[in-house]
Amino acid sequence: MKTVQLKKRKNSDWKYLSEKIILKEPLVLVFGNRFLLEDDNIYEEIKGIFNDGHIVFGSSCGDISSDSIDEDSVTITAIEFEKSSFVIKTSNTSQNRVGKQYDSFTAGKELISKFNTNGLKHVFVVSEGSFTNGSQFATGMNAATDDNLLITGALCGDDARFQKTIASYNENPKVGEFVAIGLYGESLEVTFSINGGWTPFGPERTVTKSKGNILYELDNLPALDLYKKYLGEKSKELPSAALLYPLNVKSEKEKNSIVRTILNINEEDNSMILAGDIFENSKVQLMMTNVDNIVNAAEKAAINASEFRKNKAELAILVSCIGRKLVLDQRVEEEVEEVIEVVGNGTTVTGLYSYGEIAPFVGENSCQLHNQTMTVTLISE
């Protein structure tokens, strides 16, 4: 495996972060600021650098490289696989509408169904992140593989704006796009892990009214009113303040409790819109964290992903959550530094801060939507 990394900050030119070498038909991952990716010339610009490259775009809440983490920049990571191969499939939300509603389950199932599964080792997904129901999207992807394929990835981000996200393959980034990268190869080794570092607090309450990813009532009381009560003065900063206080959700339908970010609120009906489904009769608690817990969790994720590998990772793809970035603030680079310390300086590190992380729970096969985690995917040939 050979890799090249470049970064472009606002009002500047591309700068190589690694040795400039010629790659043959590379996979080119481009993560960065949504406004910079909306430049009409962005695809042609990158095509000019990697003329035979397969270019995948995804907007982020911050792009991650071996060098730094930035909000107002774009990072390119180009990868030439020497013993393996890859296939890229796409779909768009316009292809998965039932009337006016968008079907996230069908989008996930149809996207993964496009792959020839013979020899398919891993799929990395760059998903629309603005209005996709991430848990339904993950369930649909699992349905296409009978829970028998390792899928990791990210819901694209738009910093803390939550206006829109964009993605694409071999064209200018656009709204509503899903991109899936399938990796094939006998010698390919892919491992992963996730960790959060968030702690539940306060009373446990029961979901008494919900529909899909909308939470209406807890203990028969309006959910938003209760949530504001706990937040106190911080409730004036909603919905952005909700990123610092996600929900721990325990459902009878899942073995593990899952963290759910609150993406938006509806004052009219006192409801909260979550990043994924929340089922009635689930148990819910508020969560909180601090910088040290988040940094330690990132280190644990890297250790767990490295633990049972036969070969040293050549590529590490990190997907971390916008909520973690807000907590870390000026110390945001610390969690990535912990990962680099574990995987080693010889491993190329790339990734993004997202609106949701896609991966199985450790020890399971079926992927899930996670919030507020650091997800580490390690790849070698």
Q: What is the pLDDT of residues 334-374, one digit of tens each?
A: 999 999 999 988 999 999 999 999 999 988 889 999 999 99
- What is the C-alpha to C-alpha distance for residues 109 and 139, in angstroms, rounded to an integer? 8
Position 369 scores a pLDDT of 95
What is the CATH architecture of 203-287?
Answer: Beta Barrel (2.40)
* CB-based contact 309:376 (threshold 8 Å): no
Position 315 scores a pLDDT of 98
* CB-based contact 192:152 (threshold 8 Å): yes
Position 147 scores a pLDDT of 74
- pLDDT tens profile 250-302: 987 777 899 998 888 999 999 999 988 999 999 999 999 999 999 999 999 99
pTM of structure? 0.94
Q: Which run of H or E residues covers position 136?
A: helix 134-143
Position 184 scores a pLDDT of 97
- pLDDT tens profile 149-193: 999 999 999 988 888 999 999 999 999 999 999 999 999 999 999
- Which residues neighbour 98 within 8 Å (Cβ) at sequence distance 6 or greater? none
Position 308 scores a pLDDT of 87
* Predicted confidence (pLDDT) at residue 218 exceeds the cutoff of 80: yes
- Which residues neighbour 30 within 8 Å (Cβ) at sequence distance 6 or greater? 37, 42, 46, 55, 56, 57, 58, 74, 75, 76
Average pLDDT for the chain: 93
pLDDT level of residue 97 (50, 70, 90 thresholds): low
Mean predicted confidence (pLDDT) in 186-213: 95
Phi, psi of 369 (to 5 degrees): -85, 130
- What is the C-alpha to C-alpha distance for residues 334 and 326, in angstroms, rounded to an integer? 13
* Predicted confidence (pLDDT) at residue 98 exceeds the cutoff of 80: no
Pairing of strands 73-80, 27-32: antiparallel
Task: Say whether 198 sits in a helix, a strand or coil.
Answer: coil
- What is the C-alpha to C-alpha distance for residues 206 and 199, in angstroms, rounded to an integer? 18
- pLDDT tens profile 225-251: 999 998 999 999 888 888 889 999 998
- pLDDT tens profile 295-336: 999 999 999 999 989 999 999 999 999 999 999 998 999 999
Partners of 349 in the beta sheet? 316
Q: Where in the chain is the domain with CATH 2.40.10?
A: 203-287
